[in-house]
Amino acid sequence: MAAVLKMEEFNLLDDSECEARIASAKRILGERLCILGHHYQRDEVFRHADFSGDSLKLSQMAATTDAEYIVFCGVHFMAEVADIVTHGKRQVILPDLAAGCSMADMANLVKVRKCWSELAEVLDPDQSVTPVTYINSAADLKGFCGSHGGIVCTSSNARAVLEWSFARREKVLFFPDQHLGRNTAYAMGVGLDEMVVWDFTKPLGGLTPEQIRGARMILWKGFCSVHQMFQPAHIDHFRGRVPQGKVISHPENAFEVCQKSDFVGSTEYILRTVRASQPGDHWLVGTELNLVNRLADEMKARDVTVEFMSPTVCMCSTMFRTDPQHLAWVLDNAVAGRTVNRIQVPEEVAEPARAALDLMLEVVD
């Protein structure tokens, strides 16, 4: 078998050389290869994706492809999901192993187990609390949900998942993103006074037993460092400048930002909604910069204006880690018969995680 090609050598290549190598590897591997690209990927990578989508669509794509190699241009938890839903039968590759998600890292199994056992001092969580993890989480947290009557959600199906959860148990423990949990539950009619924030750095989440007993939503104190850059004042300023304009935001944004927005939804929803615009429409979009820049370019031709919500440049730095150099490196190795950066979830973790993911896919079907 050929020797592994070294990443250091690819770091010396310029983008155009990488482009040529990627195109050539795609031709050679043909249907043995499926490149999935999340909407937050930079243009130089995104253009090579066979399929693009939000987290839900990409996990469905991963589950249905027959390709031998799934190269996931996204972040670590997405590649883990692809390995889980394909039962480890595909070689799932993450071009840069450092492409994680800082929000996903805000919850871990030790902290969630501690939370569960502390909740058990106040109530019987296995009877009265459904654990719901956002797909932006490590596989073992999905496994935790699968083992405790819980489920996974994405930003495009969180409402259906919460409806399912409340139909079974009176409370939901939602992690790691407090904002997606709060925004979704509020839109369903759960009052802010029925939600508490679990501060995982404090005993009993910094709450009293009464607060826990009185809550319907227990929100983990996690957030997305990209979406926290968007502020209600940005929307006020836009509305003052463009009174006829429309505002659309991702549900990882803060409550006040979502409340001031005309539309709230996943990356796929944002693209679909803005693409359905009429000429002359003007949008302010509260989500990651690469998606917004691409959408703005696309819509310009149709006389639709798309603006980024924040005055400062904020990208998802971990999504940005996947560059043409890493993509060319993993593909050239695949052509040489070597798999580098394979993501494999051990079956004892994958099995309960798969149960929680399968349940999600059933609930949204």
Binding residues for ligand SF4, rule: CB under 6 A, are: 75, 101-103, 136, 224-226, 252, 288, 316, 318-319
The only residue of 41, 52, 55, 333 in contact with ligand 13P, by rule CB under 6 A: 55
Q: Which is nearer to ligand 13P, 97 or 336 (CB)?
A: 97
In 10 A of CB 153, how many CB atoms?
29
Please report, as residue ranges, which positions from 190 to 229 form the binding site for ligand 13P (by CB under 6 A): 224
Residues 174 and 123: their CA atoms lie apart, in Å, by: 17
Query: Smallest gap, in angstroms, from Cβ of residue 17 to ligand SF4?
Result: 28
- Residue 249 contact among ligand 13P, ligand SF4, none, beta carbon within 5 to 8 Å by kind: none
Least distance to ligand SF4 from the beta carbon of 25, Å?
Answer: 26
Which of the residues 267 through 306 are near ligand 13P (CB under 6 A)? Answer: 267
User: Considering CB distances under 5 to 8 angstroms, the limit depending on partner class, which of ligand 13P, ligand SF4, none binds residue 91?
Assistant: none
Smaller CB separation from ligand SF4, 65 or 318: 318
* Position 41 contacts ligand 13P (CB under 6 A): no
> Closest CB to ligand 13P among 165 and 266?
266
Binding residue for ligand 13P, selected from 184, 266, 318, 333, defined by CB under 6 A:
266
Shortest Cβ 251–ligand 13P spacing (Å): 8
Q: What is the DSSP letter of 245?
A: -
Greatest extent of the chain over all pairs of C-alpha atoms, in Å: 64
CB atoms within 10 A of CB 87: 12
Query: Is 74 within 8 Å of 37 (Cβ atoms)?
Result: yes
Q: In whole angstroms, how close is the CB of 153 to ligand SF4 at the nearest point?
A: 14
**Inter-CA distances, 174 with 50, 136, 183, Å:** 33, 12, 12
Residue recorded with tokens 């998600």: 101
Question: Alpha helix locations (H) across the chain?
Answer: 7-11, 15-29, 43-46, 55-64, 76-85, 109-119, 125-128, 139-147, 158-168, 178-187, 209-214, 232-241, 255-260, 267-275, 289-300, 324-335, 347-364
Minimum Å distance from CB 13 to ligand SF4?
A: 26
> Which of the choices ligand SF4, ligand 13P, none does residue 102 contact, using the CB cut-off of 5 to 8 A by kind?
ligand SF4
Q: What is the dihedral of CA 354, 355, 358, 363, to 10 degrees?
A: -150
In which region does residue 204 sit, left (phi positive, over 0), alpha (psi from -120 to 50) or beta (all else)?
left
The distance of closest approach from Cβ of residue 99 to ligand SF4 in the complex, given in angstroms and rounded to an integer, is: 9
Alpha-carbon gap, residue 230 to 311, rounded angstroms: 9
Q: Is residue 136 involved in binding ligand 13P (CB under 6 A)? A: yes
Closer CB to ligand 13P, 211 or 225, in the complex = 225
| Residue 333 contacts residue 25 (beta carbons within 8 Å) | no
- Give the separation between CA 275 and CA 304, rounded to whole angstroms: 9
Kindly state whether residue 180 participates in binding ligand 13P, applying the rule CB under 6 A.
no
Q: Is 252 an interacting residue with respect to ligand 13P (CB under 6 A)?
A: yes
Closest CB to ligand 13P among residues 133, 136: 136
Under the rule (CB under 6 A), what is the footprint of ligand 13P? 54-55, 136, 154-155, 224, 252, 266-267
